[in-house]
């Protein structure tokens, strides 16, 4: 079975884009902490920008595995980042898998 990688790309004007392979909640938290610090943001500032609580940022950066995905995406967006998945079949723009059925 091929490996699937989550690539976190953080890029802001004046900040070098970083592409990081993420394989655990701890790696994701560490990558987001580094990005936040590179942007000169405090945890409360990032929480405000992302529309989440400071406790959520603390938990996310600590690698808590049960954080809410919707809020993780908000934080990544607030940092100017995006997520790319490598190693998965392509998904058309309408979100339907080619040649497959939902739930299968």
Q: Cα separation of 59 and 25, whole Å?
A: 10
Within-domain flag for 57: yes
Q: Cα separation of 99 and 104, whole Å?
A: 11
Q: Is the pLDDT of residue 25 over 70?
A: yes
Write down the mean pLDDT value for the chain: 81
Within-domain flag for 58: yes
Q: Give the pLDDT of residue 45.
A: 97
| Total structural domains within the chain | 1
CATH of the domain at 65: 1.10.260.40
**Domain range enclosing 47:** 24-81
Instruction: Give this prediction's pTM.
Output: 0.74
* Nearest Cα to Cα of residue 36 among 4, 2, 78: 78
Q: Cα separation of 94 and 6, whole Å?
A: 21
Within-domain flag for 89: no
Q: Give the pLDDT of residue 102.
A: 47
Q: Is the pLDDT of residue 104 over 80?
A: no
Within-domain flag for 33: yes
Confidence band, pLDDT 50/70/90 cuts, at residue 82: confident
DSSP string, 24-78: SHHHHHHHHHHHHHHTT--HHHHHHHHTS-HHHHHHHHTT-TT--HHHHHHHHHH
Tokens of 98: 């080619």
Within-domain flag for 15: no
Q: Give the pLDDT of residue 65.
A: 94
* Highest averaged pLDDT of the listed ranges 10-19, 61-70, 78-87: 61-70
Within-domain flag for 62: yes
Within-domain flag for 52: yes
């Amino acid at each position: 079975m091929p490996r699937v990688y989550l690539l976190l790309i953080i890029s802001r004007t004046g900040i070098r884009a970083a592409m990081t392979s993420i394989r655990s909640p701890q790696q994701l938290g560490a990558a987001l902490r580094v990005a936040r610090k590179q942007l000169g943001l405090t945890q409360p500032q990032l929480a405000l920008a992302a529309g989440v609580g400071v406790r959520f940022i603390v938990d996310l950066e600590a690698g808590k595995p049960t954080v809410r995905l919707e809020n993780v995406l908000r934080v990544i967006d607030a940092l100017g980042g995006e997520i790319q998945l490598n190693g998965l079949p392509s998904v058309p723009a309408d979100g339907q898998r080619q040649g497959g059925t939902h739930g299968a």
